[in-house]
Structure 1
Amino acid sequence: MDTIKNSKVFSLLIITMIYIMAAALGLYVYIRLPFSFWADLLIADVVATVFVFIFSVILGNASVYDPYWSVQPVVIIAGYAFTCRLTSATLLLLISVIYWGIRLTANWAYGFGGLNHQDWRYTKLKEDTGKLYPFINFAGIHMFPTLVVYGCILPAVFTAVSEVRANAGSIAGTVICIGAATLQLFADGQMHKFRKSGSKSLIRTGLWKYARHPNYLGEILMWWGIGIQAVSVMPGRWWLLAGALANTIMFFTVSIPMADKRQSAKPGYDEYRAGTRSLLPIPR
């Protein structure tokens, strides 16, 4: 098993099989449920997450869940786009989510080191929480992100089901989404290049010269772009922006503080933080 876990190819095959089975299980549950589409989707999403969680425990690696963040929205919006009447508004959402999802999944696969490699944040949580880690693993690492991303993709689902046409707001939201994913593309590319150099210092080149977390900015903007697309064609459903808001709060209260704390041990961090914005990649 250790040999397989150390192999990136075999590890990717195992995770791919897990996700295919999780998607099939989620679809089966969704079809069998008698409630409204959004409730059925929520339950199916939770069941699929539990399935992935079980395998993450079996394999002893919470990073089995990592691709869920980018795979789940693509599967969901594609499913609704092709089972409902495909309108211009849905098409723009489909393009936005697929572009974002392919880029983010490819970035995860590029940096994936095999099933013996676990995200440093999960390892840190395990060290800090001790006996509470199994609960933290299920509720915090798996279920909470699933619910956040469910809230983020829900505006796209309502748009697809409503079969409405695109307007100027749809185009503006699409531009935000494509721009956000492209920002992440450049930021992650610069980070990969920096890590390849072998430097253990702080990255202070490219977008990272002006922002400590330009990749997080892209992720935040992405879901506001999706929300804008939906609300622009369904203004009465402004509450659909709750998902984007929850995602933003998660980054400000969890992701950014954890990343900053990890970087704070590096020499020159205080100076870097004082002169570099957290998110906006513009000079001070």
Structure 2
Amino acid sequence: MPQYSYSQSLKIMLIPYIIIGILWFPLTFLIETYYDSILISQFLVIQITTAFLFLIGFYYNNTSIYDIYWKIAPMFFVPYWSKGSGNMILPVLVYFYCIKQNYTYFRFWPGLQYEDYRNVAVKQQYPNPMIFWPIIYLGFEVVPSIMIFLGHLPLYYAFISQNPCTFAYNFSIIFTISAIAIELIADYQLFPYRSKLLKGDCDVGLWRYSRHPNYFGECMYWWGQYLCQLSFGFENAWTIIGAACIQALFSFYSIPDMETHLLKKRETYATYKKKVVSSFIPWFRMEK
């Protein structure tokens, strides 16, 4: 892989997203001339822009060009869904979540030499480009793009609904704010360890009670979206599919895979794992 400076890497990473930002609504209006549905238009725009980012990543031979997409796309389609609803709180929360996620990502991002270890593992397992790149596109880009759409789908029905249960609605807002705060605090506490400023296992703050409090906050955010929609009634309760799929992804893939990775990476992690017994929900420690 060619070596790029940080400034070159930043341009290569961000310019495709600037292009996506410029083209998002023209693409939306074009699609809506054929399909009079903002759900269909936004789903198709998400898939078109995902394919565009895949081609950019393929050109630069870097799978992590896509990494920030799921933290960018909601900043376009959620406000579009909210138009005419008069609801400003939910789009603001989505923006705050996305900005926080991007800030956390770029805080440690070293440049284009970085690729997610999971993508690297797939490349090592399937070195044939004819196999590797389709796996990356379908499994690591198309599927997450569908998940961010489904995860935020409850908000669409919240925007077009009226007269929520005030208590339930306010609770969902507080729940979502708490989720973002938990993930923000967890990321802040992890940063010195992730950036190699400190060595060893992060065993401070939230990390003393959960091995993955950032994942806990992340999943709480998606359940917050669903709880918000649920405050308007049970008519669209089926939108639980988004939060449920994301929860399943973290519970059955992301957390076990990260645990395996950390056990291989650090010998001390096995001891940390015995002390911090919960891999997800913050819980009591076991010191002995």
The TM-score, its normalising length taken from structure 1, stands at 0.90
User: 1:28 corresponds to which residue?
Assistant: 26
Aligned pair count reads 277
Is residue 47–residue 142 contact of structure 2 (8 Å, CA) maintained in 1?
Answer: yes
> Which residue of structure 1 aligns with residue 242 of structure 2?
243
Aligned to 1:125: 122
SS of the aligned residue for 1:85 comes to coil
Aligned to 1:173: 172
- Residue 262 (structure 2) aligns with: 263
Specify the SS of the correspondent of 2:281. coil
Query: What is residue 164 of structure 1 aligned with on the other side?
Result: 162
Q: Distance in 2 between matches of 1:136 and 1:58?
A: 16
Larger relative contact order (CA 8 Å, sep ≥ 6): 1
Give the structure 1 partner of residue 84 of structure 2: 84
Q: 1:201·1:267 contact (CA, 8 Å) conserved in 2? A: no
Sequence identity (%):
24
Distance 1:201 1:245 in 2: 33
Deviation at 1:197, TM superposition (A): 5.2
Q: Which whole-Å CA distance do the structure 1 matches of 2:196 and 2:103 have between them?
A: 21
Give the number of the structure whose residues are more often helix, by fraction. 1
Among residues 77, 96, 100, which one is paired with 2:97 in the alignment?
100
Match of 1:137 in 2: 136
Q: Please give the alpha-carbon distance, in whole angstroms, between the structure 1 residues aligned to 2:116 and 2:187.
A: 16
Question: Could you give the per-residue CA deviations for residues 97-130 of structure 1, whole angstroms, max 9, x where no partner exists?
Answer: 1111111111111121111221222111211233
Taking a change above 3 Å as real, the CA distance of residues 218 and 13 of structure 1, as seen in their structure-2 partners, is same
Cα deviation for residue 163 of structure 1 reads 5.2
Residues 159-195 of structure 1, C-alpha deviations (whole Å, 9 max, x = no match): 22x1535522221111111111111111111111234
The 3-state SS of whatever aligns with 1:220 is helix
State the Cα distance separating 1:29 from its structure 2 match.
Answer: 3.0
Amino acid of the residue matched to residue 146 of structure 1? S
Matches within 5 A, 1:5-16: 5-7=4-6, 9-16=7-14
Q: What are structure 2's unaligned runs of at least 5 residues?
A: none
Q: CA RMSD in A?
A: 1.9
Deviation at 1:2, TM superposition (A): 4.2
Displacement of 1:200 in angstroms is 4.3
Provide the C-alpha distance between the structure 2 equivalents of 1:195 and 1:68, rounded to a whole number of angstroms.
Answer: 21
Moved more, 205-214 or 48-57: 205-214
3-state secondary structure, aligned to 1:203: coil
Give the partner amino acid of 1:111. F
The answer to whether residue 54 in structure 2 is matched with residue 53 in structure 1 is: yes
User: Which range moves more in the overlay, 18-27 or 201-210?
Assistant: 18-27
Aligned equivalents of 1:195, 1:152: Cα separation in 2: 28
Aligned to 1:73: 74
Query: Residues of 2 paired with 1:133 and 1:237: CA distance?
Result: 38
